[in-house]
């Protein structure tokens, strides 16, 4: 059965390769390139953003996870097992994105007291598998964040606590990057904001700027650690005002030469994030791209192969932005199998990137320069029915992971043998 399937995939790929060659596209080169792209899988999809602090506080900060699908990870070992299963079903070598709340520390260790030793098992696990790790300070689900403010808080003592947490997080990330030999991206997202319109919109942003400047005062080798800042339009409880807006962080990132994190769910539903890439990357050396899927609002649905995801991938390829882009996922869905959610989202992103890499960009650019918009549109439409699936299956075969939807059988087996035993 396996041999028959492999022969079918090989035959389909040969035909697809020939079809793309007629357009001047090397399908084999595109396949090789997509298998070299690393995506950072977000650990919080596996346990509904609960973390391992033993906290009882609600998420807060505009975050909400819906659904109660059985089998959520309850311990670090269970979460790592789930990630191992997901990674085994995704072609290529990828990364894992940790939040500070996923530490393995004795009870009573506060967030501003965290050190590299509290992530030792994560580092050893990643090193054994040849994975990179990324990191996030956790500015939510804490008694000092219950009123919706952290780094922009009016209370200097509260701000200082969160400043110390940010400093500790960067030191941890630098240690992770040094030990794994891969830069650890430290992404700062803070939930500070107001449900209703504030009178003073300036002062919180001034306080946030001062807090961030203190956090970033300590320099680190960019081979080990790089900083990113993530804006947001609104969240639950911050519908009218978010301190760290897109405009705020765009200015901060440019003036401080930090990575700007663009989260595809953090803008108005009618905004096209794909259109922002060429503008932002004119002024910044690199960006962090968090790929999510908002439905009506920033609802963090599992990523699917949508028109906007393809447009995003096309802009990354057409502008030669892939070498300057750190790719990661950011969603949490507890209404479906959580392991499957990782696999669906990552494979969808990689398919979109493969679609873009199989585009005859030089030919399309030539049509555009000649003002031959008829030929440009006709070719773009024909590309939509080209045999992407055959090249994708060949890439999965080359990476020794399941093709098509056959990966779901392994997730089903894992659910029956492992996840179902979790009460």
Position 327 scores a pLDDT of 98
Residue with token string 């539903």: 269
Q: Which of 142, 224, 290, 301 is catalytic?
A: 290
Number of helical H runs and strand E runs in the chain: 14, 12
- pTM recorded for the entire structure: 0.96
Nearest to 129 by CA among 53, 38, 50, 49: 38
**Mean pLDDT, rounded, for 122-138:** 98
**Mean pLDDT, rounded, for 213-220:** 98
Position 48 scores a pLDDT of 94
232 catalytically annotated: yes
Q: Which of 144, 165, 266, 301 is catalytic?
A: 266
Q: Which of 134, 330, 359, 415 is catalytic?
A: 330
For residues 17 and 136, give the distance between their C-alpha atoms in angstroms, rounded to a whole number: 41
Q: Which of 189, 342, 392, 407 is catalytic?
A: 189
Confidence class of residue 423 from pLDDT cuts 50, 70 and 90? confident
Distance of CA 315 to the CA centre of its chain: 17
165 catalytically annotated: no
Whether 56 shows a pLDDT value over 60: the answer reads: no
263 catalytically annotated: yes
For residues 361 and 370, give the distance between their C-alpha atoms in angstroms, rounded to a whole number: 14
Cβ pair 215, 159 in contact under 8 A? no
Q: Which of 48, 53, 192, 298 is catalytic?
A: 298
Q: Which of 232, 276, 326, 351 is catalytic?
A: 232
330 catalytically annotated: yes
**Mean pLDDT, rounded, for 286-300:** 91
Confidence class of residue 30 from pLDDT cuts 50, 70 and 90? very high
197 catalytically annotated: no
290 catalytically annotated: yes
Q: Is the domain 2-421 a CATH 3.20.20.150 member?
A: yes
Using CA of residue 173, residue 174, residue 180, residue 186, what is the dihedral sign?
positive
Whether 395 shows a pLDDT value over 80: the answer reads: yes
Position 54 scores a pLDDT of 85
Nearest to 368 by CA among 358, 379, 357: 379
Residue extents of the structural domains in the chain? 2-421
């Amino acid at each position: 059965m396996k041999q028959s399937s492999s022969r079918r995939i090989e035959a389909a790929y040969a035909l697809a390769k020939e079809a793309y060659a007629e357009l001047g596209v090397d399908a084999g080169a595109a396949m090789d390139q997509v298998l070299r792209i690393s995506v950072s899988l977000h650990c919080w999809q596996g346990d509904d953003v609960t973390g391992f602090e033993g906290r009882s506080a609600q998420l807060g900060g505009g975050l909400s996870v819906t659904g109660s699908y059985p089998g959520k990870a309850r311990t670090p070992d269970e979460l790592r097992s789930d990630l191992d299963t997901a990674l085994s079903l995704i072609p290529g070598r990828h990364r894992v994105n940790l939040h500070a709340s996923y530490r393995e520390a004795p009870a009573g260790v506060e967030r501003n007291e965290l050190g590299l030793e509290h992530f030792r098992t994560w580092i050893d696990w990643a090193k054994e598998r040849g994975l990179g790790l990324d990191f996030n300070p956790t500015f939510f689900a804490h008694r000092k964040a219950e009123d919706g403010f952290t780094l922009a808080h009016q209370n200097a003592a509260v701000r200082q606590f969160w400043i110390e947490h940010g400093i500790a997080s960067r030191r941890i990330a630098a240690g992770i990057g040094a030990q794994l030999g891969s830069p650890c991206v430290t992404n700062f997202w803070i939930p500070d904001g107001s449900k209703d319109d504030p009178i003073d919109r300036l002062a919180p942003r001034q306080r946030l700027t001062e807090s961030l400047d203190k956090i970033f005062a300590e320099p680190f080798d960019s081979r080990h650690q790089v900083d990113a800042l993530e804006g947001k339009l609104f969240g639950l409880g911050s519908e009218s005002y978010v301190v760290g807006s897109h405009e705020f962080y765009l200015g901060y990132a440019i003036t401080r030469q930090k990575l700007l994190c663009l989260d595809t769910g953090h803008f108005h539903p009618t905004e096209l994030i794909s259109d922002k890439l060429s503008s932002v990357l004119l002024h910044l050396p690199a960006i962090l791209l968090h790929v999510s899927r908002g439905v009506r609002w920033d609802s963090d649905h599992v990523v699917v192969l949508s028109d906007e995801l393809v447009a995003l991938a096309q802009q990354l390829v057409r502008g030669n932005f892939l070498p300057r882009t750190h790719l990661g996922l950011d969603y949490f869905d507890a209404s479906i199998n959580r392991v499957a959610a990782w696999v669906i989202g990552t494979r969808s992103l990689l398919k979109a990137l493969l679609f873009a890499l199989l585009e005859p960009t030089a030919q399309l650019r030539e049509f555009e320069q000649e003002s031959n918009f008829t030929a440009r549109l006709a070719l773009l439409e024909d590309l939509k029915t080209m045999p992407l699936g055959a090249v994708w299956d060949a890439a999965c075969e080359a990476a020794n992971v399941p093709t098509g939807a056959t990966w779901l059988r392994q997730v089903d087996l894992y659910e029956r043998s492992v996840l179902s035993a979790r009460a």
